[in-house]
Structure 1
Amino acid sequence: MNSLSKLNTAVLTALILLAAAWWGRSALSDSDTLGEVEIHQIPGTRKTGKPAKAVLQSSGSLKLSVTEAGRPVFCRVNVVGVDGNYYEPVDNPLAPWSLSRLGNRQGKGPFRYYGWFFYCDGQCEVVVPAGATRIEVWKGFEYRPVVVKTEVAVGQPTAVDVPLKRTVDLAAEGWYSGDTHIHLDRRSEEEDQRALDLLAAEDIRFGHILCMNDTRTYRPVMDQQIWHQLNGIGKESVRRRGAYQISSGQEYRCGTFGHICLIGGSRLVDADGLKTDPNNWPPFGMVADELHGLGGFAFHAHGGYSKEIYIDFAQRATNGVELLQFAEYRGISLEGWYHILNAGYHFPAVGASDYPYCRALGDCRTYVHLSAAPTFENWNAAAAAGRSFFTTGPLLQVTVNDKRPGDTLALPDGEQELSVRVRMQSLLSPVDEIQIIVGGEIISRKQLEEAQRTDPVDWTDTLKVQDSTWVAVRAFSKSASSRDDSEAHTNPVYVSLGQRPVRNEASILWLLDKVEERIAFQRSREFPQREQVLNYFQASDDALRKLLKSTD
């Protein structure tokens, strides 16, 4: 790689990092400002503080220790002074990832209280104004947040110990959290340890750390990527510390087809080699085919941006879709995903944060159920099989006649009764409603009130079906200003009656319209591989029309 190319890549990386930081500082409309108030306003108060530094003459020091079973643990912390502002440790290796420096993408959910947090290893010293001081501690979705108040005297150290205890242990029941879309540099052992620190602080068991290309060009070499992964790709790159693991992959990006997350492969994909123009050739389905040969799985990022995803699913070329992000269902949205499922495709969804281009690390994540050892190979395969739920916080365990998401429930022909059991708890933000969804329709709903909104809920309902279908469950609520906050959705349990496939004519016709829109778009462009791309896209149209005939 020549020095000019290296310079261009370095400049682009710097600009992207600057943009990520700027999202937390740019001007907002009045409506957006109200949403940002929810992020930084202490619940139950009118205080909307800012990051600040204490004046030494009128301050004291807070010596904080956050422990679990007597040992310091990585966590996320707010220290709020008597003035309502937020204070950080002077010396903190994790300071670059505090909310005032990275993440905090304005206008994006989840819209809930975050304050102006910092990460720490469980022990830190913070200089704060003398007076009443509030300490808030979080650690992922399975710990109930803890709030401690203390008085800090001028010129005096004040020691505070905050014990944490896991409230819900989903790993004990075979459920393991993961984020399939994180951007961090992995150029050294030190950076690997920082990544593991951050995963531990947010209690993310499996972290996929992705490089990415400029959307205008692609070269299958790491020094042409943004967010360098220099410790290998896939299995070679796995590092583990205690319960937390990281592995490197890539986000392959372009403007015409969308973005796609490639995880688990043994190296960067070649695509079309050094002559690759990602906006023209090859299409994502062919990139995914190469990845599958490397042992990996391909998930359309950002809900597929409603682009080539409509082509690839029809040929079963890709493994699924990153649907829940920013606490919203992006791209194809729930509507498009439900239509794909109604056409008879097993096309799993995941939730992922896209850190740091989001509100906070792991604010959307996926819980996968494993019956084998908790390794990346097993986690990735289970995610691609849909053995999961995805969430911004609500912990959602569902069975249908004792079958979990991703399973097929085979029953005889004729009307059948299904027993749907839902266990849910949301420790970070309340849930207002749980819905049972059958074939894309809400069949049953449970409204939650008062303590039910955050305490454990165990709800069983029965329903009858007369044809093959799928069953999933959603739990959600809006924020105080009616913005996206609590969201969780399971992948389907597939119900097969008499071995008949799921075939919904209206959904297939809806999907055909989307495919034809994508074909028309490619036909309107002039580029060297136009006919090859059109042939590939036409194969999806043909596949759906064949399905449509089977509904006659």
Structure 2
Amino acid sequence: MVGDKLGTVRATWLEGAKLAPQSYRNESRMKLRQRSARWAFTVGVLVTSASPCLAAGGSLTLKLQDETTGEPVISRVEFFRGAAPSGPREKQMPVRQTVSAGIGVVVDRSVVLELPDGPYRFRIVRGPEYRVINGTFELEKTSLDEKNVALPRMVDMAAEGWLAGDCCVVASSESVPLRMASEDLHVAAVLGKRPAKPIPRRDSDDSIEHEPTWIRTDLTQDRGLVYFGFDSQLASTLEPTEHSLAELVAVTRNENADDVKIGIENPFAWELPVWLASGKVDGIFVLGDWLRLDRRVVSVRDGRTPASFSLAEPTQVGRYAERIYRHALDAGIALVPLAGGGDRSAKTPIGYNRLYVTSKPSQGGDGVESPAAPPTQQAWWDAAWAGTSVATNGPLMRPLVGGKLPGHVFRGRSGEVLRIQPELNLAVRDPVEYLEVIHNNRVHYSARLDEFAKAGGEIPPIMAAESGWVILRVMTLHGEHYRAAVTAPWWIEFDGRRRVSPESVQFFRDWLSEYEQRLTRLPPEQLASYVPFIRAARRFWESR
């Protein structure tokens, strides 16, 4: 028997978390007045997007600090002119002496705002672990104010053994370490092989307070795939090809490529069933550049589109990516989830889509594993490829199943029944639609959090008599796109075998057939280069 404890969920809610995001003005409010500036602060959620500079008038120094520690902090801030929002896509104000964060700017502990007379609003967002602060102020010609704003932390994931990373960051002229600190992000994989710029306007001995800050630039994105550890020396040994299928094989066959890992950055790509059949890929992005804060994405790029997408439902692309991930697991493909901005993330701030990773620790006397923060960058990536992770762009899950962290393999023999108990800690900033436990691509348990609490906070155990897998998911009511948290799988193996579902195999066989039909439109000489890969993929899926 595995994990006999009762399953529990402990949920941490923000003030007003059960309200719709538009209702943030009804939440608790603090009003301040100093000299000529009028202030109001609220805790809430709003999403927005930059406008020309204004002539100087009054002056205000805004200082940011952590509410618990009192230490200065770096954070992303959005500034707006006017006492009330002017529309859903309201333009933001740029601010001098700051770094662009895509949406809003990075305030490095403090900023001096020299602005014309009038009312202003701001929104402070420091990743998903802090509450969102919405505030207003009004300047007059004689304003010369200084205000400290304390940012309340909702949960400290690093202190609990989980470090956050963005697995695909677009190269930028702006400082990566500064932007990471503003979002409380610890790991970044940056495309383009540019060295990370230091934090501007800092003395050499004035180091960043946000630790650790691990940045890698040895990755390449090409036609839907991301190669981690693919340095320029290795790239020079390969000949350019017409499509990524040959590169996929060439890279992994190269004698210098032992440490290369490959992630599917575009899970909708027509080549997906061929990539999976190759056995060369290690992970798949379940959260990527189809989940953006600057605009709503309701169709997929460069890939297969379900007929249901004609409805243009805001969460459909995100749900589709997760559905593909679950079908891959159910077809017996050992993939780990990845999350990041993606190569087309545009203005979306660094770390919006993120992967929380913990190291595999030594277990306690009761067999229950406790998270431990990875001590090095290599340890973080090793744990990510081992699947001890949770992908999220909102909810913060610290899950256990059967007392084990994600990535664990439960083993049994024919005739046995394994009793496996799910449990988790959960912190959320958005209203939650439901919590789900998914076993073998079927919903084992689903409940809204308020219903779950009324039921006593117990999740029914999984009684497993055959091979399979388990993931946990939390889905929010965010209306602009899919905002959720999804775990890496826990595997269940009986007699050393993994589950292979005919239904999921057929899902990818149908995909491959449609891809073949598309390829027939190519000229014969171009089509010939695809034939070996298509035949190999067809044999693979037929053998499943």
Smaller-chain TM-score bracket: 0.7 to 0.9
- Are positions 1:210 and 2:191 aligned together? yes
| Aligned-partner Cα distance in 2 for 1:542–1:261 | 25
Change in CA separation of 1:49 and 1:347 when aligned onto 2, cut-off 3 Å: closer
Change in CA separation of 1:396 and 1:141 when aligned onto 2, cut-off 3 Å: same
Contact 1:351 1:391 survives alignment (8 Å): yes
Change in CA separation of 1:511 and 1:66 when aligned onto 2, cut-off 3 Å: same
**Which structure 2 residues correspond to residues 119-268 of structure 1 after superposition, within 5 A?**
119-128=106-115, 130=117, 133-150=120-137, 152-185=139-172, 194-211=175-192, 229=194, 242-254=211-223, 259-267=224-232
What is the SS of the residue equivalent to 1:262? strand
Change in CA separation of 1:367 and 1:49 when aligned onto 2, cut-off 3 Å: closer
Paired position in structure 2 for 1:422 = 424
Paired position in structure 2 for 1:296 = 260
What is the SS of the residue equivalent to 2:355? strand
Contact 1:423 1:459 survives alignment (8 Å): no
Change in CA separation of 1:476 and 1:331 when aligned onto 2, cut-off 3 Å: closer
Aligned-pair identity in percent equals 20
Contact 1:314 1:543 survives alignment (8 Å): yes
| Aligned-partner Cα distance in 2 for 1:92–1:425 | 34
1:235-273 deviation line (CA, Å, top 9, x unaligned): xxxx9973222110334323xxxx111223444642774
Change in CA separation of 1:330 and 1:278 when aligned onto 2, cut-off 3 Å: farther
Change in CA separation of 1:81 and 1:381 when aligned onto 2, cut-off 3 Å: same
Change in CA separation of 1:171 and 1:422 when aligned onto 2, cut-off 3 Å: same
Higher deviation after alignment, 131-140 or 167-176: 131-140
Paired position in structure 1 for 2:310 = none
Change in CA separation of 1:469 and 1:357 when aligned onto 2, cut-off 3 Å: same
Paired position in structure 2 for 1:62 = 60
| Aligned-partner Cα distance in 2 for 1:77–1:495 | 45
1:217-246 deviation line (CA, Å, top 9, x unaligned): xxxxxxxxxxx62579xxxxxx99732221
What is the SS of the residue equivalent to 1:489? strand
Contact 1:477 1:484 survives alignment (8 Å): no
| Aligned-partner Cα distance in 1 for 2:24–2:417 | 49
Paired position in structure 1 for 2:42 = none
Contact 2:75 2:107 survives alignment (8 Å): yes
Q: Of 346, 350, 366, which residue of structure 1 is paired with 2:334?
A: 346
Paired position in structure 2 for 1:409 = 410
| Aligned-partner Cα distance in 2 for 1:511–1:83 | 52
Contact 1:61 1:128 survives alignment (8 Å): yes
What is the SS of the residue equivalent to 2:475? strand
Higher deviation after alignment, 436-445 or 372-381: 372-381
Matched pairs, number: 448
Give 1:451 shift: 13
| Aligned-partner Cα distance in 2 for 1:279–1:87 | 41
Q: Partner letter of residue 408 of structure 2?
A: D
Higher relative contact order (CA 8 A, sep 6+): 2
Contact 1:342 1:507 survives alignment (8 Å): yes
Paired position in structure 1 for 2:352 = 363
| Aligned-partner Cα distance in 2 for 1:451–1:55 | 54
Give 1:315 shift: 2.7
Give the gaps of 5 or more residues in structure 2. Answer: 1-19, 27-45, 86-90, 198-206, 292-314, 361-372
| Aligned-partner Cα distance in 1 for 2:256–2:426 | 35
Root-mean-square deviation over aligned CA pairs: 3.6
Give 1:161 shift: 0.3
Contact 1:340 1:507 survives alignment (8 Å): yes
Contact 1:65 1:161 survives alignment (8 Å): yes
Paired position in structure 2 for 1:6 = none
Paired position in structure 2 for 1:112 = none
Contact 1:519 1:538 survives alignment (8 Å): no
What is the SS of the residue equivalent to 2:168? strand
Paired position in structure 2 for 1:389 = 390
The structure with the largest helix share of the pair is 1
Paired position in structure 1 for 2:464 = 465
| Aligned-partner Cα distance in 2 for 1:401–1:71 | 39
Q: Of 85, 97, 100, which residue of structure 1 is paired with 2:101?
A: 97
TM-score (norm 2): 0.73
1:343-364 deviation line (CA, Å, top 9, x unaligned): 2121122121126425333221
Give 1:50 shift: 7.1
